[in-house]
Amino acid sequence: MQLLAVPSKRRQGGRTQSSRALLWFLCVLAGVLGRGSGCPSVCICNGTDVDCSGRGLLYVPTLNLPPSSRALLLANNRLSTLPADAFSNSTSLELLDLSNNFLDNLPATLFHDLANLTELVLRNNSLTVLDRDLFQGLTQLRRLDLSLNGLSAVPLGLLDDLSGLTRLSLAANRLHALERAAFEPLANLQYLHLGGNPWECDCNLRDFKHWIEWLLYRGGRLDAVECTLPKDLRGRDIRGVPVEMFNYCLQLEDENGGSKGGSPPCSRGGAAQPSGSPPVADTAPAPDCVRQRYRPVSVRRAIGTVVIAGVVCGIVCIMMVAAAAYGCIYASLMAKYQRELKKRQPLMGDGDADGDPEEKQISSVA
Ligand SMILES: *[C@@H]1O[C@H](CO)[C@@H](O)[C@H](O)[C@H]1NC(C)=O
Ligand SMILES: *[C@@H]1O[C@H](CO)[C@@H](O)[C@H](O)[C@H]1NC(C)=O
Ligand SMILES: *[C@@H]1O[C@H](CO)[C@@H](O)[C@H](O)[C@H]1NC(C)=O
Ligand SMILES: *[C@@H]1O[C@H](CO)[C@@H](O)[C@H](O)[C@H]1NC(C)=O
């Protein structure tokens, strides 16, 4: 804080400015000292561009940009958090570049005032979760770069206002599946980058694969979507995985459909896909359809049931065979024993009396 008191040679006016020469990253606080509308002291401004990149900033300077400002460049700094109102004075911005920082959490309303924004770059940060309202109101957005983050999901609703988006990059994140419904608002998407994610090409990705086919059908471009799971599809590009590979998902749905109390089948959206016109809103799959992650567990359960039933049947069968065999052997042994008894002691005369109860016993065992 004391550093702030060091007078700056660069700025005139009686007010003390932060010491740009000493430590760049503390200069951020210069904004606190305030000024009328103008270029933040740590940035370089020409008519339309405000360039604050590579200044080692830990905090966003107070921004009171000239109303003509169209671009704000904050790339290559050390920003890790942003206050919700960081850009509330920057409504004229069309480009906002926050790439190569350490942002890990963005307030849901951070961009809400940037109604004219056409390009937003969040590449190479530490984002793991995005609030579903984060991009609300950014109806002019054309390019959105979220690559090189730690995103594991694209929440439903996140892209709802971005129908004008033409480029979207989600490359190099931790995505293993995407929900088709989240992407359906992107009716004008031209380029989609999904590479460098650990895709799991199971039923979970099936609906999204149908959406991909629709994207390609209307001329969109897509980079490689390589499966990491299941094992036998590792390294395969999902575009090359035949739809038939996902047929078993339909069976799973049929099986699970009954127990779930008549949820609509998920196949309808995909089947009618390449018929031309963009998907109608009502084909948005029900949440149940989209979340099929746990379906394979039920398969395993079903197989387990069959195995257990088989083992139980087998054991019962073996026991019955053993009992029958035991009965036969016992009967023949007893018969032989009686015969010998009669041979050895023909004069005792009681052989029949001994034999009868035993024979009854044998027949009851058999
Ligand atoms: C401002 O600088 C940027 C490069 O940083 C340049 O592309 C842009 O044309 C400049 N604008 C004006 C109005 O000079
Ligand atoms: C917005 O501008 C006002 C002055 O017009 C200033 O007091 C305020 O701190 C600025 N807000 C931000 C977040 O820069
Ligand atoms: C947004 O863009 C429109 C058209 O270019 C312009 O008229 C309007 O003033 C801009 N809004 C702001 C806040 O700069
Ligand atoms: C990502 O950002 C970090 C920190 O700013 C930087 O060191 C690294 O080189 C960047 N990586 C890429 C691929 O841009």
pLDDT tens for each residue of 82-116: 999 999 888 999 999 999 999 998 999 999 999 99
Q: 50: pLDDT confidence band, cut at 50, 70 and 90?
A: very high
What is the model's pLDDT at position 238?
Answer: 79
Q: What is the C-alpha R_g of the chain?
A: 37
What is the model's pLDDT at position 37?
Answer: 64
For residue 56, the surrounding DSSP H or E stretch is: none
46 lines ligand 1 (CB under 6 A): yes
What is the model's pLDDT at position 136?
Answer: 94
91 lines ligand 3 (CB under 6 A): yes
Ligand nearest to the CA of 46: 1
135 against 353, higher pLDDT: 135
Outline where DSSP puts E strands in the chain: 44-45, 49-51, 71-73, 95-97, 119-121, 143-145, 167-169, 191-193, 199-200, 221-222, 227-229
Provide mean pLDDT across the span 262-291. 38
Pocket of ligand 4 (CB under 6 A): 76, 100, 124, 148
Segment 282-312, tens digit of pLDDT: 444 434 433 443 344 444 555 566 566 676 6
201 against 347, higher pLDDT: 201
Q: What percent of the chain has pLDDT over 90?
A: 38
- In angstroms, the CA 161 to CA 189 distance is 13
Taking the centre of ligand 2 as the mean of its atom positions, its distance from the CA of residue 123, in whole angstroms, is 26
Mean pLDDT (the chain, rounded): 73
What is the model's pLDDT at position 316?
Answer: 66
Q: 263: pLDDT confidence band, cut at 50, 70 and 90?
A: very low
Q: Which atom of ligand 2 is nearest to the CA of 85?
A: 13
Ligand nearest to the CA of 123: 4
Q: 345: pLDDT confidence band, cut at 50, 70 and 90?
A: low
92 lines ligand 3 (CB under 6 A): yes
Q: Which of 78, 89, 269, 67 is nearest to 181 (CA)?
A: 269
48 lines ligand 1 (CB under 6 A): yes
The SS3 call for residue 250 is helix
Taking the centre of ligand 4 as the mean of its atom positions, its distance from the CA of residue 124, in whole angstroms, is 6
Segment 55-82, tens digit of pLDDT: 999 988 887 888 888 999 999 999 999 9
Segment 218-254, tens digit of pLDDT: 999 998 888 888 887 888 887 777 777 777 677 776 7
What is the model's pLDDT at position 23?
Answer: 35
- In angstroms, the CA 79 to CA 188 distance is 32
